[in-house]
Amino acid sequence: MSVSTHRLADGHEIPLLGLGVWQVSDGSDCVNAVRWALELGYRHIDTAQAYGNEESVGRALRESGVPREDLFITTKFYPRRRGDPAAEAERSLRRLGVDQVDLYIIHWPEGGPTWAWPGMEKAHELGYTRSIGVSNFSVQELEQVIGVAGVPPVANQVQFSPFEYRRGLLDECRRRGVALEAYSPLGTGRHLDDATVIAIAERLERTPAQVLLRWCVQREIPVIPKSTHRERIAENAQIFDFALTDADLAALDALDRTRGTDRARERKWW
Ligand code: A2P
């Protein structure tokens, strides 16, 4: 498998496809999923302090034998404790068993979008992470962070799919040199039953999951589908050897339920 990459505004490359481990239980489920992904050629793993599975991710990374420099590892600062992002990054590194992650992002803007940013910059300055960013931030929240930043965020990870096609947010991110990353690209599985997606998949002799993931990578949007099944992890990686037509893209774009909003999420959930 050959995975294309996207160059972040700070010059580092992020693989367009990664394995997301949200809702993957700590222990053998997580170790196996990450191990299979690495065997199958994934080089990008996305975890978070809040997922409680960084140790399992770390174990799988070590056991894989894949050289550290070939991997792209993201973890996320859990803002609920109002803690110190740099100190929490150091704890993540210990759990993951690495000296540095590639991307460290604020998981959501709880308590306001800016208070954690100086600590994120400190984590960056101390070399705990190569790049820093945010997640679940709206355009307005992103603007506020950029307003106080010495080192600006290079990524904003949000729920994104043809059904959550936040065009306004995507355009603003691009204008500001922030890579929009797509989580829950399959709608946590719900979007796989859609008739439009199925029809395109059948015509291209692909699966609905591959169509939804291709829709992201064809736009150079990094995407992190989650699965704990080896055959699905393999299936989700076979997206760099076919293309959607302009008509396919337009049909998928029309599924948007967010009507191009610049919001990062439907509501505040914390
Ligand atoms: P599982 O982990 O049991 O394989 P998202 O990435 O949008 O959050 O979606 C993840 C959900 O979609 C999980 O429930 C996962 O189930 C399921 N899933 C992931 N890949 C596939 C696939 N290729 N085909 C069907 N379901 C999938």
Distance 230 CA to ligand 1 centre (A): 11
Q: State the pairing for strand pair 5-7/13-15.
A: antiparallel
Each residue of 61-70: b (16+ CB within 10 Å) or e?
Answer: beebebeeee
Average of per-residue pLDDT across 37-59? 97
- Per DSSP, helices labelled H in 1-112 are 28-39, 54-64, 85-96
Average of per-residue pLDDT across 127-137? 98
Q: Is 165 a catalytic residue?
A: no
* Structure confidence by residue, pLDDT tens digits, 10-33: 999 999 999 999 999 999 999 999
pLDDT bin (cut points 50, 70, 90) of residue 42 is very high
* Structure confidence by residue, pLDDT tens digits, 136-189: 999 999 999 999 999 999 999 999 999 999 999 999 999 999 999 999 999 999
* Structure confidence by residue, pLDDT tens digits, 213-251: 999 999 999 999 999 999 999 999 999 999 999 999 999
Q: How far is CA 265 from CA 121, 146, 245, 258, in A?
A: 25, 19, 28, 9
Is pLDDT at 61 greater than 70 in this prediction? yes
Per-residue pLDDT at 172: 96
Query: Domains in the chain, start-ordered, CATH in brackets?
Result: 5-269 (3.20.20.100)
Which of 211, 156, 196 has the alpha carbon at shortest distance from 178? 156
d(CA 55, CA 60): 9
User: For ligand 1, what atom is nearest to the CA of residue 20?
Assistant: 6
- Give Cβ neighbours of residue 241 (< 8 Å, ≥ 6 apart): none
* Structure confidence by residue, pLDDT tens digits, 182-196: 999 999 999 999 999
Q: State the pairing for strand pair 44-46/72-77.
A: parallel
The verdict on pTM exceeding 0.85 is yes
User: Which one from 42, 51, 78, 104 is the annotated catalytic residue?
Assistant: 51
Distance 241 CA to ligand 1 centre (A): 21
Per-residue pLDDT at 58: 98
Distance 184 CA to ligand 1 centre (A): 9
Average of per-residue pLDDT across 57-80? 97
Per-residue pLDDT at 219: 95
* Structure confidence by residue, pLDDT tens digits, 71-82: 999 999 999 867
Nearest CA to ligand 1 atom 6: 225
Per-residue pLDDT at 261: 81
95, 54 Cβ separation under 8 angstroms: yes
